[in-house]
Homo-oligomer: A and B are copies of this chain.
Amino acid sequence: MKEPRISASTSRPARASSFDVIAFDADDTLWHTERLYVDAQQKFRQLLAGYHDPGWIEARLYQTEMHNLEHFGYGIKAFALSMIETAVELTEGRISGRDIRAIIDLAKNMLNADVELMDHVSETIPHLAARHTLMLVTKGDLLDQQRKLSGSGLADYFAHVEIVSDKNQETYTALLNRHSLLPERFLMVGNSLRSDILPVLALGAWAVFIPHPLTWAHESAEPPKPGHPRFYQLEHLDQLPDLLEQIE
């Protein structure tokens, strides 16, 4: 597995900027991810269709995932273990070995899925990397995130790659300390209010929210109050360069 490389050519911005680092979430900000989960959940509901109705299966899976977060953290392996646990519970142990095997295969297929960049990413990230120091901040399984970064063709544009176990005020504080960054010179871009936006604003840094039509319920949260001075919302990533110029 290739480690994310630090590219010297992108670590020095070509001109002055209000920000020392522009940081990006990865899943559903740079490449599609949630749809893999949505597809897998649909197949999971089909597997259990003989036992329960789809809404109940979905609700119980989510419950199991939330309960297991403290043990398993985020990512596809955690999701697979929660699907298996839910399947055993919802069938009162009657789930077949063949169906358990099918759930493991769902996870492997997710882990092997091609990386599909979201719209505008392949032009916008190189454009920004020529002008700013970029950082990737993502949570989930180490190996899976490295594989996706490597497959994305974007690795060389990111001067720093941070794969963290969670994205909250504590982890962002540690990250800013580790890179000797001031919050007011750090901007984070992402699709999750809970993970990319609110903790970053709370620390005094800047945040750009780009909503994604598919977002896991766990990642939703109340948006910041209207008129927040360090918060912006965009429809698409290709609006980001103009926004940055306006801020500067």
Name A residues whose Cβ lies closer than 8 Å to a Cβ of B.
1-6, 71-73, 77-78, 80-81, 84-85, 87-89, 91-98, 100-101, 104, 107-108, 111-112, 141-144, 146, 163-166, 170-171, 173-175, 177-178
Contact = CB atoms under 8 A, between A and B. Distances in A.
Given A6-B177, A6-B178, A146-B165, A77 B84 contact: no
B88 A101 contact: yes
28 contacts: A1-B73, A1-B166, A1-B171, A3-B165, A3-B174, A5-B174, A6-B174, A71-B107, A71-B108, A72-B77, A72-B111, A72-B143, A73-B143, A77-B78, A81-B81, A84-B104, A85-B101, A85-B104, A87-B97, A88-B97, A88-B100, A91-B97, A92-B97, A93-B98, A95-B97, A141-B142, A142-B142, A142-B163
Contacts of A77: 72, 77-78, 81
A104 B92 contact: no
Nearest to A80: B81
A2 B164 CA distance: 11
**Residue from A3, A88, A101, A163 with most neighbouring chain B CB atoms (10 Å):** A3
